[in-house]
Amino acid sequence: MRKIMEGSHAVAEAVRLIRPGVISAYPITPQTHIVERLAEMVADGDLDADYITVESEFSALSACLGASAAGSRVYSATTSQGLAFMFEVLFNVAGMRQPVVMSIVNRALGAPLSIWNDHQDSVSCRDSGWFQLYAEDAQESMDLHFLAYRVAEDHDVLLPGFVCFDGFILSHTYEPVDMPTQEEIDAYLPPFVPVNVLDAKNPISMGMYATPDYYTEFRYDIDRAMDRAKDLLVTAGRELGESIGRDYSGLVEEYRLEDADTAFVAMGSLCGTVKDAIDEMRDSGIKAGLLKIRSYRPFPRAEIAKALSGVSRVAVLEKNVSLGSAMKGAVGPEVKDALWGSGIDVFSYVLGLGGRDVRKKDIAAINALSIAGKGDMFYGLREELI
C-alpha cells in the first residue's frame, strides 16, 4: 500500500513489521521521531515489544546486547554523539556476534555542535564489525531494515548492522512509500533463532577473555563473517525484491555509467541530487554517471572495480572527513584501491559537512575540477572565512 509518510515514521512502520521483542533507545535529534513513534506503538498495543527506557545511549545498546544474548530480536536507533557514546558497546556486540540492527540517522559530530547531516558518525564506526548499509530515499531507508535483519540473523553471518539514512533530509521529509504487508515480511523474515542463549538453567558466558593465543582468530572470524554477509546481501536482497517488488541485490548501483567519462561515487540521499545533475550534464553533452555504494561494510571492492572499469576518472563525494589523511575522505582510498593498476584517476571531494546543502551546480563544478586533475580536497570552502 502506498502512503505519504515522514521518513522516520516509515522506518518505525518497518520496525513494527519486523516484530522486535525488545527496543531500547535514547532520544536524540534527528532520530527522535522514530523512537517516539515506536514508543507509541508499544503503549497502544500495536507492537508486542518491551520498550526499555534508559538514561543514555551506552545503556541503550548495552540493554540491546543483553536482550539479544537472551534470544530476542532487538532494535535501536541513534545518531552522532549518541553513536559515539555507544562506541565501546559496538565492538562488544560485534565480538559477541549478536545480530542487533540499528538505524543511524546520520548527523555531524561535535565540536562544534551541529545537529545537521553528514556521514561522520557512521563512517567513524567503520572498523567496529557492524555492516553498514546506506539508503538514498525513504523507501530504501525502510526496505533496508528488512534486508539488514535477514542478513544479520543468518547463522552464516551473525553480525550486527547499521541502516544509515540522512538526518532531516530523509528522516524529516515526506515521501510516498510502499508499505509491505505483515504477511510478506513474516514470510521473508522468520523468527530469530539464536545460536548462543543466556539461560540460567544452562549457564554460559559470552565475549570471554581471550589471551594472545586466541584473540587474533576471533577477529579473523568476524572478518570471514563479513565476507559471507557480502554474498548474503546479494541473495537476500534479490529475495526481498521477489517478495516486495523492489530489488536490493546490488551492493552498488549504477546510474548512466555506460560510456561515462566522469563517474561520481556517493552514498545516501546525495545520490538523488547527483542523478539529477548527471541528467542535466548529459543534456549538455557531458558524459557523467554515478556509482552508488549501498554497502560500505562489507566493502564491495570487486563490484566497484567492475562497475568503474570503463570510465576516465572517478570523483568520490564524501560527507565525511578523515582528518589528516592524504585524500581527505575515508571512502576515496578504498575506491582507489579497487581501481589500482587501472590508470583511472580517483579523487575525493569532502562536501556537505554539518548539513551544508549540496546542489546540482556543485556536482557540475566537481566534474570540472576532476577533469582539471584537482581533488583530494574540501570542496566549496568559504574563502572569506579562512
Partner 1 sequence: MALNIGCAAKPGRARDNRTGSWRVFIPRFSREKCSKCGLCILICPEGCISEDEEGMPVPDYDYCKGCGVCADECPADAIEMELEEK
39 sits near partner 1 (criterion: CB under 8 A):
no
The minimum distance between CB 217 and partner 1, in angstroms, equals 6
Q: Measuring CA to CA, how many Å separate 259 from each of 276, 287, 288?
A: 18, 7, 8
217 sits near partner 1 (criterion: CB under 8 A):
yes
For residues 101 and 163, is the Cβ–Cβ distance under 8 A? yes
- Crossing angle for the helix pair 138-153 and 215-244, nearest 10 degrees? 130
Among 1, 45, 111, 205, binds partner 1 (CB under 8 A): 205
Can you tell me the distance from the alpha carbon of 65 to that of 62, in angstroms, rounded to the nearest whole number?
5
Among 207, 272, 310, 355, binds partner 1 (CB under 8 A): 207
Q: Which is nearer to partner 1, 72 or 98 (CB)?
A: 98
DSSP symbol at 123: H
DSSP assignment string, 328-367: SSSSHHHHHHHTTTS--EEEEEE--GGG----HHHHHHHH
Give the residue carrying C-alpha cell 521477489: 242
DSSP symbol at 383: G
Stretch that binds partner 1, among 73-81, 196-204, 241-249, 298-306 (CB under 8 A): 196-204
211 sits near partner 1 (criterion: CB under 8 A):
yes
Give the residue carrying C-alpha cell 563525494: 317
Q: Which is nearer to partner 1, 90 or 339 (CB)?
A: 90
Terminus-to-terminus CA distance in the chain, angstroms? 51
Q: Which is nearer to partner 1, 129 or 329 (CB)?
A: 129
Can you tell me the distance from the alpha carbon of 145 to that of 160, in angstroms, rounded to the nearest whole number?
12
161 sits near partner 1 (criterion: CB under 8 A):
no
Q: Which is nearer to partner 1, 222 or 364 (CB)?
A: 222
Q: Which is nearer to partner 1, 8 or 62 (CB)?
A: 62
Counting Cβ atoms within 10 Å, is residue 223 exposed (0-12), middle (13-18) or buried (19+)?
A: exposed
Q: Which H or E run includes 300? A: none
Q: Which is nearer to partner 1, 63 or 251 (CB)?
A: 63
For residues 360 and 335, is the Cβ–Cβ distance under 8 A? no
Q: Which is nearer to partner 1, 115 or 198 (CB)?
A: 198
Stretch that binds partner 1, among 33-41, 71-79, 216-224, 227-235 (CB under 8 A): 216-224
Q: Which is nearer to partner 1, 193 or 210 (CB)?
A: 210
- Residues of this chain, 69-108, that bind partner 1 according to CB under 8 A: 95-98
The minimum distance between CB 157 and partner 1, in angstroms, equals 11
Residue 79 pairs with which residues in a beta bridge? none
Q: Which is nearer to partner 1, 221 or 357 (CB)?
A: 221
Which residues have a Cβ under 8 Å from the Cβ of 127 and sit 6 or more positions away? none
Among 113, 181, 199, 214, binds partner 1 (CB under 8 A): 214
Assigned C-alpha cell, 247: 530489488
Can you tell me the distance from the alpha carbon of 288 to that of 271, in angstroms, rounded to the nearest whole number?
13
The minimum distance between CB 67 and partner 1, in angstroms, equals 15
Number of residues that bind partner 1 (CB under 8 A): 21
Among 204, 302, 368, 381, binds partner 1 (CB under 8 A): 204
Stretch that binds partner 1, among 103-111, 182-190, 213-221, 255-263 (CB under 8 A): 213-221
Give the β-pairing of 22-25 and 288-293: unpaired
- Residues of this chain, 219-258, that bind partner 1 according to CB under 8 A: 221
Which residues lie near partner 1 (CB under 8 A)?
A: 95-98, 158, 195-196, 202-208, 210-211, 213-214, 217-218, 221
